[in-house]
Each structure stands twice: as C-alpha cells, then as structure tokens.
Amino acid sequence: MTEPGGGPVTGGGGRATGRERAGGVHARGRGLRLLRGVAYAALPAEFVLFVCLLAGVRIPGGVLLAGEALVLGLLAAEVVVWVRLRRRGLSRRAVAAELVPGPALRLIGHELRLLASLGRWIARRPHGVAGADGVFPHGRDQAALMYGFAFVCVVETVGMSYLLAEWPFVHAVFLVLDVYTVLFVLGLHAASVTRPHTLAGNVLRLRQGAHVDVSVPLDRISAVRRELCFSHEKAEGELNLAVGSQTSVTIELTGPVDAPRLLGTPRPVHTLRVHADDPRALYDALTRARTGPSPSPGPLPTA
C-alpha cells in the first residue's frame, strides 16, 4: 500500500499514524479547554482591577504587573492558536468557533447586528432584500411602543445623571449603561424595520429583530390563513413572531423547519404565526406562489 504521495506504508505504520492523529486532536482539545479556562478566570479579574482603579482603590504594583502579564500572555496564546488553526485550513469562522464558546459568539453577533441595524435604518438600506420577489415589512405596529420605551430610558438617564452628580465614578458607570440601553432599544426597532419578511424563489424568509431568521420552503407549507391573534400560548412546535403583541398570518407546515433559539439551541416548528404591516399582501403572495398566479395577480410589494 502506498500513500497518495507515493511512499510505502505498512499496516502497523498506518495504525500508528491514526493513533498519533487521534492523540494530536485530543491534545489540541485539551489545550483549547485550558486556554478558555484561563480566559474565563483572567477577563473577570481584569475587569475587577479596572473598576477598582477607576474607583481610586490603591492596588500594589506587583498585582497590576501580574494582571497585565497574564492578559498579554493570554492574547499571545490566542494569536498562536489562531495562526496554527488557520495553517491547518480552517476558515476564520471555524477558528473563532474553536476559540470562543458558541453561545458567546451568538450573543456578540446579536449585539453587532443590532448596532449595524441602526446604521442601516439611518441609511434606509434594508437587509437581505436584494433579488427578493416580495418584501413584507413588519415593524410599523411596534414603533410607538419602542419610541415610548426609548423616551422613558432617556428621561431615566437624565434623572440618574442629576442624582449621581456628586459621585463621578458611579455617575460614569450608570451613564454608559443608560446610553447603551437607549441604543439597544432603538436597535431592536431598527432591526425589525431593516429586516422584513421576504419571498425569493421558492423560499419564504421570516424574521424578527436580529435574533430570528427562519427559511421556509414553499413546498413545505400546507396552509396559510389570515388570522389576527393577540394572545399566544407557548406550545411545542409553534413559533409566534408577534409584533406589538399581535400576529396576523398563520402558516402551517407539512414538516418541521428549524428555528434556532438565540443561543443556537435547535427548535423544530411546524406552525408559525407572523405579522406584517400589510397581512393581505403577504397572504396573497404566498397563495399565488403556492397555487399559481390569479388572473390579475398584480406586482408583489418591494422595498
């Protein structure tokens, strides 16, 4: 027997190579777990040191030096592991998944999508509508509620700034948290506005904010109903994408599709209740796409 490169290999050598590869994978797994463990311990400790410094607490120089050395060593180890995994042919996304736990990556991605949605909202650039046959916005009926939340957060920010003016450090911490809360609330609404439902080819894409994105093949839809619902009880296999506490279109499937939760946990669903600013347009578009065009179907709504 020969290797692809042409060199002879004995049966015993092949078995040894397999054991060596398995041992290498196991060692790499232990190394990554060790690196994550150090990160879990070092980053909170570094945050505590940072807060203590801002608060004016005197910290021995040796403790500061050890903390900085630990963080620099951790960053250096992350860079080394990144380079090695990239040389082995892993993509950037795969390497990031190896170095950072999946739930943490998904939370970070959600926050980044919210911030990006604010920019898209200002620039009036919807996400994922290029090439779509139909675009169905769904954020209008929650606008007043979200603006109200944002206004309350702004009032709370001003009030806390006045009350904490005599404690600069506490004032700075609460100011950052309050400003981020305002941006978060606006980002939630911006994500709904800039991520409408779309119909492209034979796939219906249903979205809510920056955390739900479900693709439904049209041949898996068994029934579509215009159905206004204001109360939604949680049930296994059902997904309610309510906007302003209401849904207006119910979609039943012949088989389940996966609608992963925020942290990536699989969630098979066979019934979806969604909302659209114009539920009749969504219903008519799905009916035409599934059964063929009517005598005068009219154009589908676009962004």
Residue among 189, 193, 110, 197 nearest 145 (CA): 189
pLDDT at 90 over 90: no
pLDDT bucket at 34, cuts 50 / 70 / 90: confident
Q: Name the 3-class secondary structure at 163.
A: helix
The two structure tokens encoding residue 18:
């397999």
Give, for 29, the enclosing helix (H) or strand (E).
helix 11-54
pLDDT at 246 over 60: yes
pTM of the model: 0.72
Model pLDDT, residue 24: 46
Percentage helix, strand, coil for the chain under 3-state DSSP, each rounded to 5? 55, 20, 25
d(CA 278, CA 275) in angstroms, rounded, equals 8
Confidence of residue 70 (pLDDT cuts 50, 70, 90): confident
- The predicted pLDDT at position 11 comes to 45
Dihedral angle over CA of 80, 86, 91, 92, nearest 10: 30
* Mean of pLDDT over the chain: 81
Model confidence over 38-48: pLDDT tens digits?
666 666 776 67
Q: How far is CA 298 from the centre of its chain?
A: 35
Q: Judge whether residue 256 has pLDDT over 70.
A: yes
Cα-Cα-Cα-Cα torsion 293, 299, 301, 303, nearest 10 degrees, comes to 130
Q: Is the pLDDT of residue 1 over 60?
A: no
Cα–Cα distance measured from residue 45 to residue 29, given in angstroms and rounded to the nearest whole number: 25
- Per-residue confidence (pLDDT) for residue 295, from 0 to 100: 43
CA distance 189 to 208: 10
Q: Which residue has the tokens 């049966």?
A: 11
Q: Can you give the pLDDT at residue 221?
A: 94
| 95: Cβ contacts below 8 Å, ≥ 6 apart | 82, 85, 86
Lowest mean pLDDT among 18-22, 54-58, 266-270: 18-22
What is the spatial distance between Cα 257 and Cα 13, in angstroms, rounded to a whole number?
46
Q: How far is CA 12 from CA 8, 25, 74, 76, 137, in A?
A: 12, 20, 40, 39, 64
Residues 105-132: tens digit of each pLDDT: 788 889 999 999 999 999 999 999 998 9
> Phi and psi at residue 300, in whole multiples of 5°?
-75, 150
pLDDT in tens, 4-17: 444 444 444 444 45
Contacts 24+ apart (CB under 8 A), 156-164: 157/181, 157/182
